[in-house]
Amino acid sequence: MEIKFKDINIGAVQARAVIEIAPDIFINEVTILKKHNDIIVELPQKSFKGKKGDIYHLDIITFANENKENFWKLEIKNEYLKWRKKNPKILVYENKT
């Protein structure tokens, strides 16, 4: 599995990932979040509005069981942490006087 990250830094979003799950087959919009100093991997979802106006979310990627999903998310998180060590954040502040 090859993962490419893109630095975002908007609110809680730290990065987005594109994952090659098989040769020439990619998953987009995997989101890396930072909430309460913890890194969270959020997989893509499809959202739609029901007849009664309720919003529903459907997972695009389905796993056989929760353990496989957690293992996959952990693998993505570890790859992100390795990538972040090689590509540290550079914060630029404007000097307003």
pTM of this prediction exceeds 0.95:
no
Q: Which CATH superfamily is domain 2-86 in?
A: Stage V sporulation protein G (3.30.1120.40)
User: What pLDDT is recorded for position 11?
Assistant: 83
User: What pLDDT is recorded for position 8?
Assistant: 86
Instruction: List the chain pLDDT tens, one digit each, 97 residues.
Output: 899 999 887 888 999 999 998 999 999 999 999 999 899 999 999 999 989 999 999 989 999 999 999 999 999 999 999 999 998 877 666 666 6
What is the residue-wise DSSP string for the chain?
Answer: -EEEEEEEEETTEEEEEEEEEETTEEEEEEEEEEETTEEEEE--EEEEE-TTS-EEEEESS--SSHHHHHHHHHHHHHHHHHHHHHS----------
